[in-house]
Each structure stands twice: as structure tokens, then as C-alpha cells.
Amino acid sequence: MRVTSVLTAVAGASSASAAVMQIAATTLSWNWTVTGWSAGCARSGCYYDFNVTGIGNDTSRPARPSFKAYCSGQGEGADYRACTALEEAGTDYSVVAKLLPRNTAVNETSPAPPQIQVSLKFTDLDTPTTWWNYTGKAEAAYNQFVAPLMNFTITPDTIFGVA
């Protein structure tokens, strides 16, 4: 079963009997660090791999866990692909990533830069019956074989929880 199907099923089952909460992302600043970004395209399609890290904050509301994961996948516009957790956290968490479809740039002669979207779902650190999902995206580049590995930041722009 695909990760998006699982997340959709869980969200649907959870929200049927629970309250869904949404928080304005501008009220909670949390930057994730992407390191070792490598991406390229071949006849079989485009692909990527990178590490993503978030530093936790126990005093924020909701409290946020630290996390680190390795992500790899392929296909612009493909479904989310599960990342591999590289460290334990104070709660259960999962990270997924996907390349967003590229639009043609304003001049319509070359496509816009690729965008990676990352989503983190974790169990609330204070209330184990509540979970949170933070999602953000960033522009990147197809740098494999032509440029060094890249590092950049993703800031979540969508935040919701289910209690």
C-alpha cells in the first residue's frame, strides 16, 4: 500500500471521531535542514536523495520532536515516498518526501526549478492520543554530476493535528 493511501486512510479514520486542528504556519517557526541533496534526471525519470533534520523544541505548543531521516525517490509528481529514520525521538514519527510536478517558467522555454516537499507526522509529546503533521517545500536543483551536493532549508507551511 502506498504511503499516501496509508496517511489518507489514517487521517480519514482519525478525523471521523476526532477534532482536526489547523495552525497558521506563520505562528510557529521551525526550520528543517536538508543536507547532501543530490538529484538528477535520466531516461527513466528524475530522482533525488538527501538527509533532513529538525531540531526539537519542548517548550513550543505543540512541542516538537527532533528528527533525522534519509529520503530518496523518483518521479516528478509521484506519490510520497517513506524516508528512513536515522535517529530515535521522544515520540513516534514518520517522514515522507516527493518531487512536485514542475511548471513551465514564465518565459515558457525552460521548466521551473524542481521543488521537494517533505511531510513529518508525529505523536504529540504531551498527549499520546493526538498527532501532528507538518509539511513544507523548497526549491532545489538537479545537481548530480554537474555541481556539488547542496544544503538548504525547508520551512513548514502547512500544519494540522488530530486529537
User: What does the pLDDT read at residue 15?
Assistant: 45
Q: Which of 94, 51, 100, 102 is nearest to 78 (CA)?
A: 100
Predicted pLDDT of residue 119: 97
Cell numbers 504556519 label which residue?
25
The pLDDT score that the predictor gives to residue 109 is 65
- 71-74's contacts with Cβ under 8 Å and 24+ in sequence apart are 71/95, 71/96, 71/97, 71/118, 72/47, 72/48, 73/47, 73/48, 73/49, 73/97, 73/98, 73/99, 74/44, 74/45, 74/46, 74/47, 74/48, 74/99
Whole-number pLDDT of residue 145: 86
Q: Given this model, what pLDDT does residue 9 score? A: 41
**Average pLDDT, consecutive stretches of 10 residues, N- to C-terminus, the chain (163 residues):** 44 57 73 97 92 93 92 96 93 95 68 90 91 95 92 94 89
* pLDDT for residue 4: 47
pTM given for the model: 0.82
HSE toward the beta carbon, residue 38, CA cutoff 13 A:
9
Total number of residues shown for the chain: 163
Please identify which residue in the block is written with the cell numbers 526539537: 56
